Chain A
């Protein structure tokens, strides 16, 4: 197919792949990027929130032409039971700054733009092409890929695996394991279209201001999971995701869960009368620090979701992907500029640089959190949300009951559900995993 030899082949045109391709192309490297979708972004799914800082490091003036939806001025966290929600809202006019910090985006549109940046820097992007296999030499060093095009073998000094959470290539080549059901969540999402003015009125926004709602509680039926509602310009992204292992155990169906979430009395008014234009499903890496696979080897590195780089607790994924792609690109460029071969020893630089970044530092901080939330899912996602919502209702409803009696009822409900030892134990375990 392509006779020439490349400095690097990047598999995938998502956040991590585009960041890697752009970083290397900008430095004059000969980069081939291969994407199986019709265009970059056509296979990619996310909520989605974009964090400006990580993109600024790659495209400093991205605000001039990147397809952004709304900059976020407000974040809501909702703990839900069947009919109520207890919320924590943070809203600040400080976020109406000249260079806003966070935006909602639509991935299919954003990724197309992000890829165009890499192409302008000189990367060659080949779409509608699926990579079938990695090519290794007699010593086991990765030296290229085989695509599903005729005569589709291409060679390069290094292959960047940016193939996403469901990456087949790396597992087929025994570079890493297939994620297990307790290390990934399945999220389903719908795009609900509404007139801009309606969205602004319902979410209390002006102009391009945006809001995101993250919701947990009985909506996931005791499974480890979360729902979300993100306001875009003329659409609202509504989704819910839970651990695959929990779905497997519970026998819940993802679309029923989404329908029930949409019908919740706190959510339904936000999307009433909307026109749904897409339904998507996607896996999210949830294993955290302990699930990170081997990140490099002879002739290859792995970045983004394929490397399980996702901070589930902070709902940060694409920025970790983007940063790992950029760092991989920088490390590869350093090895190349020293005229060193792309061996495992030399590519260890990528891991070293990643360890020093917020990516690994953040994941390390929460290394015990996934286990805690998974083991205690019934408590954290059913019992506590119910108790807290009931306590708040008891607190705000005025009905002639003396406050002293109300407090007794609330305390008794917590103790009878979890016992004093359980309550203290949960608080202690949570604090320790957070630390």
Chain B
């Protein structure tokens, strides 16, 4: 059996068009020392892999490649772990096909 290289979602996102609103992230993670179970779930469930652990073991978000599905909002907005807003009008992902 061959071992396959893990899928790099970054390669998939590279096909998409984005207009990144530099300096205006539309998703923010609340400062925390130890991430909640909900925050940890986002590391895997986000389809654009926007969430990563930093060297201190905290969850960070880089929403540049966000496809604006709202999955993280559904999981982690309710307990205050994240703040979710839409990007400003015209910014964010721009689907050619959708």
Contacts and interface: CB of A to CB of B under 8 A. Distances in A.
A44 interface: yes
B68 interface: yes
A42 B95 contact: yes
Most chain A CB within 10 A, of B13, B19, B48, B69, is at: B69
A166 B89 contact: no
Contacts of A255: 7, 9, 12, 47, 49
Nearest to A252: B44
Given A148-B88, A186-B69, A280-B67, 10 more contacts: A42-B98, A46-B98, A107-B97, A130-B87, A147-B89, A149-B89, A186-B71, A247-B41, A251-B41, A279-B15
Interface residues of A, number: 53
A337 interface: no
9 contacts: A36-B87, A107-B95, A108-B95, A130-B89, A166-B70, A178-B74, A191-B97, A255-B49, A283-B69
Contacts of A44: 95, 98
B89 A253 contact: no
A278 B15 contact: yes
Contacts of B75: 181, 244, 248
Given A36-B86, A130-B87, A251-B44, A107 B98 contact: yes
Contact of A279 (B16, B19, B84): B16
A253 B74 contact: no
A124 to B, nearest CB: 15
Contacts of A128: 89-90
Contacts of A106: 97-98
Interface of B: 6-7, 9, 12-13, 15-16, 19, 38, 41, 44-45, 47-49, 67-71, 73-75, 77-78, 84-90, 92-98
Contacts of B44: 247, 251-253
Contact of A278 (B6, B47, B89, B95): B95
B89 A248 contact: no
A253 B71 contact: no
B69 A278 contact: no
A43 B44 CA distance: 23
A27 B75 CA distance: 41
Contact of B74 (A36, A111, A181, A256): A181
B58 to A, nearest CB: 19
Contacts of B87: 36, 130
A281 B90 contact: no
Nearest to A45: B98
A223 to B, nearest CB: 11
Interface in A238-268: 244, 247-248, 251-256, 259
A254 B86 contact: no
A235 B15 CA distance: 15
A108 B97 contact: yes
Contacts of B12: 190, 255, 276, 279
Contacts of A279: 9, 12-13, 15-16, 67
A45 B71 contact: no
A282 interface: yes
Contacts of A42: 94-95, 98
A56 interface: no
A62 to B, nearest CB: 19
Nearest to B93: A43
